[in-house]
Amino acid sequence: MADSALSIRTIEHSDLRDFQNVLAWAFLDDPRGEDSKWLKVLELERAHAVFDGDEMVGTAGILSREITVPGGRQAPVGAVTVVTVKPGHRRRGVASLLMKTQLHGMHENGEPIAILWASEGSIYRRYGYGEYATSLAMLKMPTRMAFHPGVHVSDTRIRQVTREEAMPFMHETYERVRRTRVGWLDRIDGTWDVQLADRDIDRGGLSSYRYALHPEGYVVFRVKHDGDSSGPKSELHVRELVCETEQAYVDLYRFLLDMDLAGSISFYTAWDDPILHMVDNPRKVRREDADALWLRIVDLDRALPLRQYSSDVDSVLDVEDTFCPWNSGRWRFTVKNGEATVARTEDPADVTLDAAALGSAFLGGARLSVLRRAHRVVEHTPGHVDALTIAFLGTHYPHCPEVF
C-alpha cells in the first residue's frame, strides 16, 4: 500500500533533470544530464514520477513498441523501463504506485501486453509479470573451432565497414528480420542510438563497435584486447548477429571464429542459438542461461487472440489476478486452426493459474506443464495442461535481443 504522502503524475520537460538524477542514483550511476542516452527514447507523456511533497522520489517509463508474437504477427506492447526509487524512500510503496498507475493506464488505453527486463528476480512477479517469457544464453567459445562436416560455409565475402556505411543496411535488414522472430521489437531511430550507443562511457573498457556485413545479414561486436607471450587472445564481444538466411548465420559465425588475433567469442544470444549444433565439439561452447523478458498480460481477452497457437484446445481457465482484477475469473479459451477466442464463462475450471504464469507462457517461453510441476498451475481436468502446453509452444524459443 502506497504511503499517503505520495503523489504521482506524468513528467514535463522541466522535470528531466530530477528524473535523471533519481534514476542515476537508483542505478548507482553518475547523473549524465542531457547526455543520458535514455532521453532519446523516453516518451514524456508515458513517463511517471512520484513525489513526496515537492521532492521527486520515483520514476518509471513506458516505451510504445511492437513485439513479434507466435505466428509472425506484431502486437503493440508497453516496454516498461527506468523503474527507480531514490535511496532513502524505498519500501514505502513508491514502485507499487508506479506499477499500478502504469498497468491501469494501459488497460484504459487498450494496450494488451507489458514487458520488462528485471534488475532483480524478486521484484516483478507480485505485479503479475511472468519470468522467462524469453530466455538468454550467455555463450563463450574459443575461436578457430571447426564446424560439423555437414555445415556448409559459402564463399560470400564479408566486409568490415564503418558505422556510417553499416547503418542503412542494418536498419533495413533488422526491420525485415524482426518481423519473423518471436520476441523481437521494432526500432525507431532513438532505439538504434540507445542500443548501439558508442561513446567512451558506453564501452565498459572495450573497443568501439565493429560492423561486418554479409549480403543477407550483419554482425556488430566490440573487442577486448588481450594477449601474452603465448600469443594474442583478444575477446570478441558480439552485440548482435542479425541474419535473413541460415547461410548468412553460418558465414558470419565462421567469420568471427576465424578472426586472426582473437582467442574467444562472447555472445548473449537466443537460448536455442544453433551454434551448439554447428561446431564439431559442442562442449567447447560454455553456456550460462538467464531470464530475459518478463511479460505481463494486461488484458487477457485482448492479448491471447493476438498470437497464433500450435494446436487446437478448448479449456476453461480460472485466472487469479489481484493487481489487475479485470482479468480475474473464469474464461473459456478455445483455439481452432491456430486462432484463439476468449470469453467469460460460468463453466467449471479445467485449469487454475495466475497472471504471471500466463505471462511466462504467452510467447512460448516457459511451459505450462513445468509451471504445474512448480505448483504455479493447477489442473482440475486431466489432460488440459498438456494440451495447453503444446498449443502455446512454437518452433523456436522466443528471444529478445535488446535490453531497454
Residues with catalytic function: 124, 404
Select from 17, 110, 119, 225 the one that contacts ligand ACO (CB under 6 A): 119
Q: Is 8 in the site for ligand ACO (CB under 6 A)?
A: no
CA dist 388 and 52 (Å) reads 46
CA dist 97 and 279 (Å) reads 49
Q: Are the beta carbons of 312 and 335 closer than 8 angstroms?
A: yes
| Min CB(312)–ligand ACO separation in Å | 36
CA dist 214 and 160 (Å) reads 9
Alpha helices in 2-93 (DSSP H): 16-26
Q: Is 6 in the site for ligand ACO (CB under 6 A)?
A: no
Binding range to ligand ACO, per CB under 6 A, among 77-85, 186-194, 299-307, 332-340: 77-85
Q: Are the beta carbons of 138 and 266 closer than 8 angstroms?
A: yes
Long-range pairs for 169-175 at CB < 8 Å and ≥24 separation? 169/213, 169/218, 170/211, 170/218, 170/220, 170/242, 173/216, 173/217, 173/218, 173/242, 173/244, 174/242
What grid cell was written down for 10?
Answer: 506524468
Binding range to ligand ACO, per CB under 6 A, among 92-100, 279-287, 330-338, 364-372: 92-100
Select from 68, 84, 102, 315 the one that contacts ligand ACO (CB under 6 A): 84
Select from 26, 114, 185, 243 the one that contacts ligand ACO (CB under 6 A): 26
Q: Is 118 in the site for ligand ACO (CB under 6 A)?
A: yes
| Min CB(189)–ligand ACO separation in Å | 22
Select from 95, 262, 335, 340 the one that contacts ligand ACO (CB under 6 A): 95
- 7 or 119: whose CB is closer to ligand ACO? 119
Q: Is 81 in the site for ligand ACO (CB under 6 A)?
A: yes
| Min CB(295)–ligand ACO separation in Å | 12
Binding range to ligand ACO, per CB under 6 A, among 119-127, 130-138, 163-171, 379-387: 119-127
- 22 or 250: whose CB is closer to ligand ACO? 22
Residues 6+ apart with CB under 8 A from 43: 61, 62, 63, 64
CA dist 61 and 15 (Å) reads 13
How many residues bind ligand ACO, per CB under 6 A?
Answer: 23
Select from 63, 67, 80, 242 the one that contacts ligand ACO (CB under 6 A): 80
Select from 37, 40, 92, 181 the one that contacts ligand ACO (CB under 6 A): 92
338-351 core/surface letters (b: 16 or more CB in 10 A; e: else): eebebeeeeeebbb
Q: Residues 120 to 149: which contact ligand ACO by CB under 6 A?
A: 120, 122-123, 126
CA dist 256 and 259 (Å) reads 5
| Min CB(120)–ligand ACO separation in Å | 5
CA dist 391 and 340 (Å) reads 10
Select from 9, 27, 35, 289 the one that contacts ligand ACO (CB under 6 A): 27
- 86 or 384: whose CB is closer to ligand ACO? 86
Q: CA dist 315 to 260, 328, 343, 355, Å?
A: 57, 16, 11, 16
For ligand ACO, the binding residues (CB under 6 A) are 26-27, 80-85, 90-96, 116-120, 122-123, 126
